[in-house]
């Protein structure tokens, strides 16, 4: 076939255009990027978002492995015994380092020593997949327990999403299981966390962060279909204790996908909170279960002005917590932020950043440092064995009981919320919580009671009192300055009451070995700018605390025994009892 000269010239021109096109659009490699000239790369440094044990943990089992969870996937080759170390003083502890998902694991070669402090470090040699190194070493410390025995308690699954036998579940759900303690990430796999439709295995990705394992199906689930999720006994904690029995639950999908954005329902401290303790750990409670991989210290931040506060972020139940590495500064305003990168288990993000501010207790405050109540500070009444009321009681704030179940709250005429997470009462402006309510309430109640006990121990353990055995235990009619007061007996306040005079940031702690008795009609008066939230009554043995008729009480009561309110007594503060609280037509208001 002949091709005339004009055709040859035409094809030659096309060839030239092709060369120019490929050279300009694909760098000569035959690819086309659609004109996109964006050459940006990941330059964000990874961070350590949580550790196990947590920083400053005590009573750690001597057979524990250590873990560090990162904010993103890391280059496994950079996670080794050079970049993840454990020391006792200056002595290096030998062990093996592995990396799974977003978590590094350090397994000591032998059990640690009892009652000994250790320091773990992730060094800046650890890098993400883009080659970005940690901006600074991540260092945390912990102390082992005194028991020679290794932990033998099996972990349990405390919260599942969706709930067992749930119906109308969104088709785009990510299934999750929260454990009672930190787990060995290498045991959380597609073999130990499965999802099936009948005998058919659903394909998906299993991840683990903090105490939460998630199963994300590769494809949207089928509508109106029953699925079975299983956590097997192949999962184990950091000591090697396996789950005692398989955790199995079922749920049925609906026709729709979840498109509802999550929200933050409450914060600690509250927005614009003042006189916040320097040991405060900001918290945010979400409206639904979140994807733990999106709750990191890049998404949950704390700042003083434009300066970021160093800390670690944990997520358990519905609660995200930011634990600062160091105590906060006096008389300083901080801003906590959770960004819209936080997502629920269906991938829905917050619609707007959640931002709240608070101001710490002022510098130069008189008296001891305030007692950190932790999650117990969320309650105006908190007990281990029950709360009973008669008469027309009026409570402003949340109340809760644990480990006793909801039968321990009597006289409130409680109505269960449809979520089964809390109940309400006409006598309470707030919510009622109990150990037998739906998850995550049991987990949150366990933590709150533990924090109450820790707060009591803190208050009782303060040393170098400013006043000892003042008034031989009878402080009636006295005007007391801020400070630490200690009695080896009980304390009486009669009809003459007592006055506490001081500034808005001043603190009083009363260490009382026996009973606290406040007689009928007595008034505890706060003078100057003194605040009830800075007054702590730590009451030890005997029968506990008795507030007589029409008493006007102020402050936080931390008692190992009962707290009894006689008819008409009022409290501005909190009643936190390790046994029970009895009410009779009382008014109690959170400080």
Among residues 453, 416, 421, which one has the least CA distance to residue 438?
421
| Candidate CATH numbers 2.40.50.140, 2.60.15.10, 2.60.40.1220, 3.30.360.10; the one for domain 157-253 | 2.60.40.1220
Task: Tell me if 231 sits within 8 A of 215, measured CB to CB.
Answer: no
Averaged pLDDT for residues 145-151:
72
Question: Count of residues for the chain?
Answer: 591
Q: Which residues of 154-183 are buried (b: 16+ CB within 10 A; e: fewer)?
A: ebebbbbbbeeebeebbbbbbbbbbbbbbb
Tokens of 469: 């055995």
Fold of 264-360: Immunoglobulin-like (2.60.40)
Task: Tell me if 551 sits within 8 A of 573, measured CB to CB.
Answer: no
Across the chain, what does the average pLDDT equal? 88
Q: How far apart are CA 401 and CA 413, in angstroms?
A: 15
| Main-chain dihedrals φ then ψ at residue 447, nearest 5 degrees | -65, -40
CA 82 to chain centre: 31
- pLDDT band (50, 70, 90) for residue 30: very low
pLDDT above 60 for 80:
yes
CA dihedral 343, 347, 348, 351 (to 10 degrees): 50
| Main-chain dihedrals φ then ψ at residue 12, nearest 5 degrees | -65, -40
- Note the pLDDT tens digit of each residue in 390-438: 989 999 999 999 999 999 999 999 999 888 889 999 999 999 999 999 8
pLDDT above 60 for 445:
yes
Q: In 3-state terms, what secondary structure has residue 148?
A: coil
pLDDT above 90 for 474:
yes
Task: Tell me if 341 sits within 8 A of 261, measured CB to CB.
Answer: no
Tokens of 216: 């994300």
Averaged pLDDT for residues 538-562:
95
Going from the C-alpha of 324 to that of each of 124, 272, 296, 300, 311, the distances in angstroms are 20, 19, 13, 12, 4
- Note the pLDDT tens digit of each residue in 226-284: 999 999 999 999 989 999 999 999 999 999 999 999 999 889 888 998 888 787 889 99
Among residues 248, 226, 231, which one has the least CA distance to residue 169?
226
pLDDT above 50 for 121:
yes
259: β partners? none
Task: Give the per-residue pLDDT at 299.
Answer: 93
Q: How far apart are CA 562 and CA 539, in angstroms?
A: 10
What single DSSP character describes residue 408? G
pLDDT above 80 for 16:
no
- In the chain, % of residues over pLDDT 90: 65
Task: Give the per-residue pLDDT at 37.
Answer: 44
Task: Give the per-residue pLDDT at 145.
Answer: 83
157-253 with 264-360: one CATH topology? yes
Give the E-state strand segments of 345-418 in sequence order: 354-360, 379-383, 386-390, 394-396, 398-401, 409-410, 415-416
| Candidate CATH numbers 3.40.50.720, 3.30.1490.190, 3.40.190.290, 2.60.40.1220; the one for domain 48-144 | 2.60.40.1220
SS3 sequence, 174-205? CEEEEECCCECHHHCCCCCEEEEECCEECCEE
- Note the pLDDT tens digit of each residue in 163-192: 899 999 999 999 999 888 889 999 999 999
| Segments making up each domain of the chain, as ranges | 48-144, 157-253, 264-360, 374-589
Exposed (0-12), middle (13-18) or buried (19+): which is 20, by Cβ within 10 Å? exposed
pTM: 0.63
Among residues 417, 375, 419, which one has the least CA distance to residue 400?
375
SS3 sequence, 243-272? CCCCEEEEEEECCCCCCCCCCEEEEECCCC
Among residues 345, 339, 283, which one has the least CA distance to residue 316?
283
């Amino acid at each position: 076939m002949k091709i005339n000269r004009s055709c040859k010239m035409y094809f030659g021109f096309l060839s030239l255009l092709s060369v120019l096109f490929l050279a300009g659009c694909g760098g000569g490699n035959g690819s086309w990027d659609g004109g996109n000239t964006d050459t940006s790369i990941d330059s964000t440094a990874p961070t350590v978002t949580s550790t196990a044990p947590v920083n400053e943990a005590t009573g750690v089992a001597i057979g524990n492995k250590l873990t560090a969870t990162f904010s993103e996937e890391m280059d496994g080759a950079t996670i080794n015994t050079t970049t993840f170390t454990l020391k006792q003083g200056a002595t290096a502890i030998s062990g093996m380092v592995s990396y799974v998902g977003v978590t590094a694991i350090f397994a000591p070669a032998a059990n640690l020593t009892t009652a000994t402090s250790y320091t773990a470090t992730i060094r800046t040699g650890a890098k993400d997949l883009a080659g970005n190194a940690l901006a600074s070493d991540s260092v945390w410390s912990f102390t082992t327990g005194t028991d020679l025995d290794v932990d033998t308690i099996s972990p349990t699954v405390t919260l599942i999403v969706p709930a067992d036998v749930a119906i109308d579940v969104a088709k785009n759900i990510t299934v999750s299981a929260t454990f009672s303690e930190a787990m060995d990430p290498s045991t959380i796999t597609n073999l130990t966390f499965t999802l099936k439709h009948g005998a058919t295995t659903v394909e998906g990705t299993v991840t683990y962060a903090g105490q939460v394992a998630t199963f994300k199906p590769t494809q949207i689930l089928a509508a109106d279909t029953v699925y079975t999720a299983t956590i097997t006994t192949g999962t184990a904690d950091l000591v090697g204790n396996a789950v005692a029995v398989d955790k199995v639950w079922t749920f049925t999908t609906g026709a729709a996908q979840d498109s509802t954005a999550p929200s933050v329902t409450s914060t600690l401290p509250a927005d614009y909170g003042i006189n916040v303790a320097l040991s405060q750990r900001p918290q945010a409670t979400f409206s639904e279960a979140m994807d733990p991989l999106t709750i990191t210290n890049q998404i949950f931040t704390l700042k003083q002005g434009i300066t970021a506060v160093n800390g670690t972020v944990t997520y358990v139940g519905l609660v995200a917590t930011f634990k600062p590495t160091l105590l906060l500064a006096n008389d300083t305003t901080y801003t906590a932020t959770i960004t819209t990168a936080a997502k629920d288990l269906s991938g829905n993000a917050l619609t707007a950043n959640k931002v709240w501010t608070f101001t710490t207790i002022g510098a130069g405050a008189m008296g001891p440092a305030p007692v950190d109540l932790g999650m117990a500070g969320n309650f105006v009444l908190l007990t281990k064995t029950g709360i009973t009321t008669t008469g027309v009681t009026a409570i402003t704030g949340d109340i809760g009981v644990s480990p006793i179940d909801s039968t321990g709250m009597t006289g409130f005429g409680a109505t269960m919320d449809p979520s089964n997470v809390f109940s309400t009462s006409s006598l309470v402006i707030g919510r009622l919580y109990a150990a037998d309510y739906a998850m995550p309430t049991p987990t949150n109640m366990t933590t709150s009671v533990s924090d109450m006990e820790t707060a009591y121990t803190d208050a009782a353990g303060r040393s170098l009192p400013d006043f000892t055995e003042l008034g031989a235990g009878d402080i009636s009619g006295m005007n007391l300055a801020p400070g630490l007061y200690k009695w080896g007996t009980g304390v009486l306040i009669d009809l003459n009451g007592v006055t506490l005079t001081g500034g808005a940031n001043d603190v009083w702690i009363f260490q009382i070995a026996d009973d606290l008795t406040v007689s009928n009609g007595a008034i505890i008066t706060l003078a100057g700018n003194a605040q009830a939230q800075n007054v702590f009554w730590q009451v030890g043995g005997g029968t506990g605390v008795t507030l007589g008729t029409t008493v006007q009480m102020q402050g936080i009561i931390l008692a190992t025994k009962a707290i009894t309110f006689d008819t008409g007594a009022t409290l501005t503060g909190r009643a936190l009892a390790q046994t029970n609280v009895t009410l009779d037509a009382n008014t109690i208001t959170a400080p």
